[in-house]
Each structure stands twice: as structure tokens, then as C-alpha cells.
A and B are shown apart, each in its own frame.
Chain A
Amino acid sequence: MTGPPLLQVQDLRTTYVRDTGRVHAVDGVTFDVGAGEIVALVGESGCGKTALALSLMRVLSTNGRLEPGSRIRFDGLDLLSLSERAMCDLRGRRLAMIFQEPLSALNPVMTVGAQVAEVARLHGERSRRVAWDRAIAMLERTGIAAAGRRARQYPHELSGGMRQRVLIAMALLLAPSLVIADEPTSALDVTVQAQILDLLRDLQRETGMAVLFITHDFGVVAELCSRALVMREGKIVEDAPVDRLFRSPAHPYTAELLAVVPRLRAHGPRGATAV
């Protein structure tokens, strides 16, 4: 790869005010994501992976803040010196996020088609008609059958898998160069998860976008990602290509996690090699 990476994070620190004082959710994190790369961010609950994602998007809640000295460079821009307005323009257009729970990320009183179309409208599309057509096309692209009819439905009328496809459509509508996906398949059943992972992989190949995929599932890491960052107590303890991470984890914590990952041993029909 030539040129600087798409995303460069340096010594990022995020703290939250709690009744017990300041808590370091992200505690001095440094890593890169190259253009077109799918990088996993793995860790257990409370390790700071979601706080890291929200920091990158600059959408921390009011009791959270980025500490001085933190640096985020994205596509040549210093994200932390951008105005809120410039940041707003960047979000969605070049940097997008997919959340875990689509039901809370979607507006319950707006049809899903209107919500996807709104993304185009917010970023300068003047024509309602064009915005709507683009929304339908994108919903189709994410594998929603009868997208024209589905677009007129409300989130509660769709299944969990379909709602997740709607969120993916919203995130990818403007062809961002980096998508942060926060446990996008963790709430889904395995057969639906398999469909969504296939979809993300296809869309990544097609658009060349980079993905920072937050998960706690090493199965998903192995199937989707080329590199993984292992996070624990606000710090990245290991950053390695996925092959090497599984073969010879360098950090004892990674080794411990891999040792307890529940895995199917006797998977007869899939013919995978047993270790």
C-alpha cells in the first residue's frame, strides 16, 4: 500500500465522568486502518470498543470527552480540529457507522425508505424523487426483496435481519471510504448473520470501502477480517494479521480468549479440517 493509511489513530484517550470520578474508557490507543481493509476490533464487554467507535465518529455523549493529545487523521484530515459542521458533512458521506440494535437506531415513526432517502437529502440531494429512487436502489442492493414496497413500511414491520439491511443501506448510500460497524450481527440468528456477513463482504469488494468491524465473536473475525485489534481495559493489547493472531497469539490475553472460544469440533457437513 502506498501513501498514508486512510485512518491513523494516535494516543487516543476517551474519558467519561461517572459518580465515582473520571473513567478512562479508551486509554491511549494507536492504530491504522488502510484503504479497503477489513479490520476487526475484538474484546469483551466493557473493554472500550464502543467508546472508541463513538470517539472516531465524534459522537460521544455529553459526559464523555477526548483528552488532549489524542489524534485522529482520516483521509488527510485532522478530525479533532474540524468544526462540528465540517464533521457533520463528513459523517455519512465519507465516514459512516452501523449500529448493533437497528430498532433503536431507526426512527420508529418514519418509513424506512424515507430514512434512507433522508441521508441523501441531508447531504445535498435536492430532488425528493431522486433521493427516493436512490434509497430504493440501495435497499435492493442490500438484498431486500420487493424494496419498493418495503420502503413504505415502518421499522417495527420488518424483521431484525431486514432492519439491519436498512441500516447498512443508510450507511453505504453515499459510498463512504470507512464504515465502522459496531456488532452489526450480534443480535441476529446465525443463518441471518451468515447472510449479512456475505452481504458486507460483497459490498466491500464492490466499493473498496474500509471496514472497522467491532465484535466479540472470533468466528466472525476469522471469516470476515484480514487484521484484528484486540482490546482490553481501554488498551489495544495486540494488533496482528488474523492468520497470525489465531496461529500464534502474541499477548497472553489473546491466547486466553482464543482458548475459551466455543467452537464446533465435529462439523461433519462443513468438511473443515479439525485441528
Chain B
Amino acid sequence: MTAPLVSVRNLTKLYPARRSMFGRAMGEVRAVDGVTFDVLAGETLALVGESGCGKTTTGRAILRLVEPTAGDVHFDGVDVRALDREALRRLRRRMQVVFQDPYASLDPRMTIGRTVQEGMEVHGLATGSEAGRRTGRLLEEVGLHAGDASRYPHEFSGGQRQRVAIARALAVEPSFIVLDEAVSALDVTVQAQVLTLLMDLQRDRGLTYLFIAHNLAVVERVATRVAVMYLGRLVEIAAAAKLFAAPRHPYTQALLSAVPVPEPGARRRRIVLAGEVPSRTAAPPGCVFHPRCPHPAKDAECMRAVPPLLEESSGHLAACIKPKLPLLPETP
């Protein structure tokens, strides 16, 4: 269980920030900046953070849907960045992705049966009537009907389309799936059903998930471990229960305290972050969070160097050089 299926080391992705009149790049955006973590076989590692923190780019760089600028990605011992086109194509059978918007990721002119079957055929897993039978079984497994295979994406609701996208990913029998905000666009009742489906599939098929999301309450429900990103950097990673109960990094503490509690009269104690997330073209030196950090011991040292991810307690890592401190005031 504890063997890493995916290991990511110093993953970095830079984009040219803007171009001059003559098309020359002026500066760069550090979308993902030296990110290191493992995804263990059979677990759900959640990757969380606010818009622009680099979580989606990290997921895509692992799959090489975008080419990393630097760093290493190993999948089941294979150096993913060293693979040529054909080898990468073969590896993709084992690494799949489900995106947020099933409208955009399903071909509107293809029946969902064809969409699901295509991957099986491309990877030579099944053809003809065998592929048809498997597709029917898969559709049933994700809660649709085998007879739905002849229908088109527009005939389905958002939740059903997301089930189709899951069936398409499963068709090639992957061991690892990147779920990129896969339930974020769904209404809560549908969202709960799709989450249950994902957890059932994980149990039955021994899948490993990288669950990219911004909704922390959803993450708490499904994650084994959680990694928190801010401005391209990984700031904290820990077992889900630990991270939610005793977040170490000031940003994680602020992020958790900002989630509205569906409980009237709950004591609202919130760390209000001043200002906004800085531009990624002009990321602050040292700790990227220092300009907004509420830690009372914050000082010039925080600006000097990028704080390393240090192990606080077993399996709980955080990138903060200041003493561990709960930043919310005690309730009177």
C-alpha cells in the first residue's frame, strides 16, 4: 500500500509571461515551481488551492498533457519524461484523466458508446462485439444503462455526462486517474452520488486518484492525504485527518478558516488574509506567502530563501520556517 505509484520531484512548469511586439517572451510565469510529492498506490491524494495556484498544471504535467520545464515524474518506476511518443501513448492506457466540464471533454457528434469504446480499440484491449459488450458493462458500472451507448452527450444531464467521462477513463483499465475538478460543476445532490461512485470504483478496482479540487469539504470526504499549493509551490502535505484537524502552514490555516460552515450560529473565527494573491509573474522572493502571512513572527528571514518542506511529524510536511502556531485567537 505504501509504495509510490507516482513520484514527482521538483516539478516545474514555466510559461512565457507576455510577448513583446516582436514575439519575444518577456519574463515568465512560474505556474508550478519545484513541486515534490508521491502518490501512493491505492490512495486518493487531494491537491488543493485557489485559482492560479498551479494544481491543474501539476496534474497535466504529470500526464505530460503539458510538457514540464524541469523536474522528474516516475510512474510505477518508469521515467515519464524520458518516454518517446509511442511509449507515452502506451503508458497513457494506465494513466487517465477526468476533467471538470464534461460538455467540453466529450465529442458531441459521437455516441457515448463510441466515445467509451474508442480507447479500448486504440489500445487493442477489445474490438467488435466484445468491445460493445464491455462498453455496456462499463456504462452499467457507472450507473447508466447499457442501452445508453447509442445516445449522444446532449441527451444527458451534467451528472450523467460526468459518469460517461468516468466510463471513458475506465475503458482502458487504468491504475491511476487524475480527477481535475471532476465534481466541481455538479449540484450537491448529484455531486454526492458521483463521489460515492468514484469511491466505490476505487475500492472495487484498486484505483489510485490524484483528486484536484478547490472545495475543501469535498476533499475531506474523499482524500487519504492532502497537498496544499499556493502560487505554484507546495506549502503543506499531510494525512487528511491531520491536515484538517491541525493545519501547520499559515496559508492552510487561513484557507480552512475561510470555508463557510453550514451551521447557523457556529462561532465564526476566521483568519482574514489581507489583499490578494500576487501576480505569478512577480512572485515574492523567499516564501511566496509572506506578503499576506498572518504569522506574528514573520520577518525578513521569510523573504530570504524559499522555505523547504520539512517534516513536522510523521508524514506531515510543511514549508514554513517559523514556529508552529495556531493562528486563530482562542474563543473567549
Contacts and interface: CB of A to CB of B under 8 A. Distances in A.
Most-contacted residue by chain A among B158, B241, B256, B326 (CB, 10 A)? B256
Nearest to A191: B258
A265 B158 CA distance: 28
Interface string A41-78: 00011000000000000000000000000000000000
B256 A270 contact: yes
B261 A267 contact: yes
Contacts of B261: 219, 222-223, 263-264, 267, 270, 272
Interface in B236-278: 241, 244-247, 253-270, 272-273, 275-277
A79 interface: no
Contacts of B259: 190, 219, 264, 267
A213 to B, nearest CB: 12
A11 interface: no
Nearest to A161: B276
A262 B191 contact: yes
A190 B214 contact: yes
B221 interface: yes
Contacts of A192: 50, 276
A197 interface: yes
A265 B218 CA distance: 11
Contact of B255 (A191, A198, A243, A246): A191
Contacts of B214: 189-190
A191 B264 contact: no
B198 interface: no
Most-contacted residue by chain A among B191, B256, B262 (CB, 10 A)? B262
A191 B188 contact: no
A31 to B, nearest CB: 19
Contacts of A19: none
Given A44-B188, A192-B276, A246-B264, A268 B215 contact: no
A275 interface: yes
Most-contacted residue by chain B among A197, A220, A264, A273 (CB, 10 A)? A264
A250 B255 CA distance: 33
Given A44-B188, A191-B255, A220-B260, A271 B273 contact: no
A261 interface: yes
A136 B301 CA distance: 38
Nearest to A223: B260
Nearest to A190: B258
Chain A interface residue bracket vs B: 35 or more
A260 interface: yes
Contact of A197 (B51, B246, B253, B260): B260
A118 interface: no
Nearest to A46: B187
A220 B258 CA distance: 11
A190 B192 CA distance: 20
Contacts of B260: 190, 193-194, 197, 217, 219-220, 222-223
A24 interface: no
A178 interface: no
A271 B269 CA distance: 8
Interface string A130-170: 00000000000000010000000000000111100000000
Contacts of B217: 219, 261-264
A266 B220 contact: yes
Interface in A201-247: 216-223, 242-243, 246
Interface of B: 50-51, 158, 187-189, 191-192, 214-218, 220-221, 241, 244-247, 253-270, 272-273, 275-277, 326-328, 330-331
Interface of A: 44-45, 145, 159-162, 189-195, 197-198, 216-223, 242-243, 246, 256-258, 260-273, 275
13 contacts: A44-B189, A191-B255, A194-B260, A197-B260, A198-B272, A222-B261, A242-B264, A256-B189, A260-B192, A262-B218, A265-B244, A270-B256, A270-B270
Given A145-B275, A222-B263, 5 more contacts: A45-B158, A220-B260, A260-B188, A260-B189, A264-B244
